[in-house]
C-alpha cells in the first residue's frame, strides 16, 4: 500500500530529502500529493524546490498568511517537516492519519528549540546529531523514531557543522523510511515509552540566542568559552550574528572566525 506523504521543506536538507522522497514515489512506495515550502525558499543561501516539483508534476504551495488551510486538509498518512522553522498548529497535527514527523538538528532532548546547531558549539558539546521524531503539542518533545550522531570538531563553525548534519540526516533517511512505512499510527502521549523526549529538558529560544550575540567588551571570558561562542555564531563569511559596539560611533562591529588545521 502506497503511503501518502506531504513534505514541508526548507533549506538545503529539505531540497535533498525531497528528491529522496521523489525516488520513493518513483518506486511506487509512496505518493506525494503536494509539497509545502516557505516564501524564502530558493531566495537565500539554499536551493529552491520549484524546479524539482515542476519536473515531477507535484503541486507546490507556499506556507504563510495567504495559505488556504483547506489545501492541507487531505487524506494523507504523514506530514514530514524537513528543516521546518514554523510551529504547526494543533489542528494540523491531527490531519495525517499516522502522524507528523519532524527533523531536528540535535540529539533530543538536548538543545530543544531554535538554533540547535549553533548551541551545540556554543555550549561546548563534543557530539551532536539529528533526531527524527513525532510531533505533539510540545515543541521538540515527541516520540523519537531515529537518532544518529556526529562529532563536533574544534574547527567547526555553525555552517560546517550544519553541513555535516545535513549529510547525517540524508544518509539515515532510507533507514527511517524502512522503519516508518509499515508503521501503524503511534499515539503520542507525553511521558509514555522510553523513546519519548523528556518534557523538562531546557528550551533554547530565539531571545536567548539573540542575547548571546552581543559580545560584552567589559566581561571576562575564558579562552575556550569565547572561541566556542564565536564559532557557534559564525555561519557564512558575512555572518552578522556576533557583534560588539564601537564606543565612539555606537555602531555595531560584527565578528566571524575562520578556522583551519595546521
- Bridge partners for 110 per DSSP: none
List the grid coordinates of 80.
Answer: 514530514
Measured distance CA(224)–CA(243) in Å, rounded:
18
CB–CB of 203/106 below 8 Å?
Answer: no
CA distance 232 to 144: 26
For the chain, strand residue ranges (E) read 3-9, 30-31, 35-37, 60-62, 78-82, 99-104, 112-113, 127-134, 144-151, 203-204, 242-245, 252-255
Q: pLDDT tens digit string along 58-88?
A: 999 999 888 887 889 999 999 999 999 899 8
CB contact at 8 A, 64 and 38:
yes
- Distance between CA atoms of 52 and 50, rounded to whole angstroms? 5
**Is residue 14 within a helix (H) or strand (E), and if so which, with residue range?**
helix 11-26
Pairwise CA distance, residues 141 & 109, whole Å: 7
pLDDT for 55 equals 96
Report pLDDT for 51: 95
Contact criterion met (CB below 8 Å) for 60 and 34: yes
Residue 132: strand pairing partners: 103, 146
Tell me what pLDDT residue 191 has: 39
The set of cell numbers assigned to 29 is 512506495
Q: What is the CA angle 10-16-17, rounded to 5? A: 80
Pairing between strand 99-104 and 78-82?
A: parallel
What per-residue confidence (pLDDT) applies to 197? 64
- Residues 40 and 115: their CA atoms lie apart, in Å, by 18
Please report, rounded to a whole number, the percentage of residues in the chain having pLDDT higher than 90.
77
The DSSP result for 32-58, as a single string, is ---EEE-TTTTSSSS--SHHHHHHTT-
State the cell numbers at 24: 520513493
Residue numbers in the chain where pLDDT is lower than 50: 187-194
- For residues 96 and 79, the answer to whether their CB atoms sit within 8 Å is yes
SS3 258: coil
Q: Are 78 and 57 in contact (CB under 8 A)?
A: no
Amino acid at each position: 500500500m502506497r503511503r501518502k506523504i506531504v513534505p514541508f521543506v526548507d533549506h538545503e536538507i529539505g531540497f535533498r530529502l525531497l528528491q529522496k522522497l521523489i525516488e520513493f514515489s518513483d518506486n511506487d512506495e509512496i505518493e506525494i500529493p503536494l509539497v509545502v515550502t516557505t516564501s524564502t525558499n530558493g531566495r537565500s543561501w539554499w536551493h529552491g524546490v520549484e524546479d524539482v516539483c515542476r519536473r515531477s508534476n507535484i503541486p507546490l504551495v507556499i506556507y504563510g498568511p495567504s495559505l488556504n488551510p483547506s489545501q492541507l486538509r487531505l487524506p494523507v498518512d504523514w506530514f514530514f517537516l524537513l528543516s521546518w522553522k514554523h510551529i504547526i498548529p494543533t489542528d494540523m497535527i491531527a490531519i495525517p492519519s499516522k502522524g507528523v514527523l519532524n527533523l531536528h538538528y540535535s540529539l533530543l532532548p538536548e538543545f530543544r528549540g531554535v538554533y540547535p546547531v549553533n548551541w551545540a558549539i556554543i555550549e561546548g558539546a563534543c557530539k551532536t546529531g539529528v533526531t527524527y521524531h513525532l510531533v505533539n503539542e510540545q515543541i521538540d518533545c515527541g516520540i523519537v523514531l531515529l537518532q544518529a550522531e556526529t562529532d563536533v570538531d574544534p574547527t567547526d563553525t555553525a555552517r560546517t557543522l550544519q553541513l555535516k548534519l545535513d549529510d547525517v540526516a540524508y544518509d539515515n533517511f532510507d533507514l527511517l523510511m524502512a522503519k516508518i512505512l509499515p508503521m501503524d499510527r503511534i499515539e503520542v502521549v507525553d511521558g509514555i515509552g522510553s523513546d519519548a523526549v523528556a518534557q523538562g529538558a531546557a528550551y533554547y529560544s530565539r531571545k536567548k540566542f539573540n542575547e548571546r550575540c552581543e559580545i560584552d567588551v567589559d566581561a571576562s571570558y575564558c579562552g575556550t568559552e569565547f572561541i566556542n561562542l564565536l564559532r557557534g555564531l559564525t555561519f557564512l563569511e558575512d555572518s552578522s550574528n556576533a557583534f560588539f559596539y564601537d564606543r565612539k560611533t555606537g555602531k555595531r562591529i560584527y565578528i566571524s572566525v575562520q578556522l583551519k588545521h595546521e
